[in-house]
Structure 1
Amino acid sequence: MSMLTAAVVVVGVLCLLDLLLSFGIIRRLRQQNETLRDLREKQSAEEPPIMFTAGAHVELSDVDVSGALVGFFSPNCEPCKERMPQFIEYATGHRGKVIAVAAGPAEEVADMVVRLGEVAEVVVEEMGGPLHNAFGTTGYPALCLVDDSRTVVASGWEMSALPVPATR
């Protein structure tokens, strides 16, 4: 009987020790989560937007961007290669005009023009071109939605920055 009591006491002590260690780990994970959240907030406050943000008005006379989904892509950009299929899928559900800007020399963006051309009007221009300047684009990929009054509704470099498209 004394062996059984000793075993129960040992198991109880081990369970108590495990419980204390679990609470310590949970507390440490919460501290790390708060530290990461603070770091992300600090970084997002320091990073300039990749293009005009919501509420900005787009001034452009050559191309009608009213109600358009607009995407800027570069052939040398890894995130662009990841976002392009997502952009194409999103564009198929977009009710308005879709404009894709392929940034770079024509020979480098040829494949991009073909892929984007399935769902969008494709414009090829270098950084600093008229569309880049009209949208304040500073990097790639840059994505935005413009309303009928040429005001940016949403923008960012990830598809999650854009609202869920309405179905056709």
Structure 2
Amino acid sequence: MTFLIAAVVLVGVLCAFDLLLTFAVLRRLREHTAELARLAEGTQFISYDPGALVGRTLPWADTDTDGVDRPELVAFFDANCDACHKHAPQFAVTARTQAAMAVISGAGPRADDLVQVVAGVSSVITAERADSLVKAVGVEAFPTFLRVGQDGTIVAAHMELAALAEMASAK
């Protein structure tokens, strides 16, 4: 009988330990799910500082800008970026009041959707030209919005269009 009681106590302790371990795993899974949701919102490049692009000169000579020599506002979008699809309509509205360029990286139906949204923008660059411009400028995250000076130098950069407008009005 003593062995039976000891075995039942041992099984109870093991079950309690297993239960604690299961709760720890579930808590960790919730943390990972929250992190993945945050990443899906477009903030996946935490170490990316678009402000580091300030001072660079855009390589306009390599790119046909469809008649727009020096856009004041440039947006970099990626076809597979949900945040890009969310910010594109706001960019299209803002871009109607100034010389602007949309650079859309990627291909397929989602890229076509982005092109449709920004159709009223002064210039839209897609396909390989967009990919080469993304690399030349050094854009690491999407969307990235740039305010460009008359000489083609980036004067402000941000991942939120509203924040970029605030930066421009503060100067």
TM-score bucket of the superposed structures, by smaller chain: 0.5 to 0.7
Bigger relative contact order, structure 1 or 2 (CA pairs below 8 A, ≥6 apart): 1
Question: 1:62 maps to what in 2?
Answer: 62
Q: Deviations over 1:40-97 (max 9, x none)?
A: xxxxxx7222475322222331235524311111222121122111111111222xx2
Q: Is residue 53 of structure 1 aligned with residue 53 of structure 2?
A: yes
Question: 2:148 maps to what in 1?
Answer: 146
Shift of 1:124: 0.8
Q: Which amino acid aligns with 2:112?
A: A
What does 1:8-19 align with in structure 2 at a 5 Å threshold? none
* 1:72 maps to which of 72, 76, 82: 76
Q: How high is the sequence identity, in percent, across the aligned residues?
A: 27
Give distance in 2, aligned partners of 1:130 and 1:52: 19
Q: Is residue 91 of structure 1 aligned with residue 102 of structure 2?
A: no
Question: 2:115 maps to what in 1?
Answer: 113
Q: Deviations over 1:114-157 (max 9, x none)?
A: 22112231111359822102321111101101111111011111
Structure 1: gaps spanning 5 or more residues: 1-45
Q: Deviations over 1:4-58 (max 9, x none)?
A: xxxxxxxxxxxxxxxxxxxxxxxxxxxxxxxxxxxxxxxxxx7222475322222
Structure 2: gaps spanning 5 or more residues: 1-45
8 Å contact kept, 1:101–1:125: no
Deviating 4+ runs (over 4 angstroms): none
Shift of 1:162: 1.8
Give distance in 1, aligned partners of 2:136 and 2:60: 6
Number of corresponding residues: 119
- Residues 107, 123 of structure 1: alpha-carbon distance in 2 compared, 3 angstrom cutoff: same
The TM-score, its normalising length taken from structure 2, stands at 0.59
What does 1:126-145 align with in structure 2 at a 5 Å threshold? 129-145=131-147
The TM-score, its normalising length taken from structure 1, stands at 0.60
Structure with the higher fraction of residues in helix conformation:
2
- Residues 49, 128 of structure 1: alpha-carbon distance in 2 compared, 3 angstrom cutoff: farther
Give distance in 1, aligned partners of 2:97 and 2:53: 22
Query: Over aligned residues, Cα RMSD in angstroms?
Result: 2.7
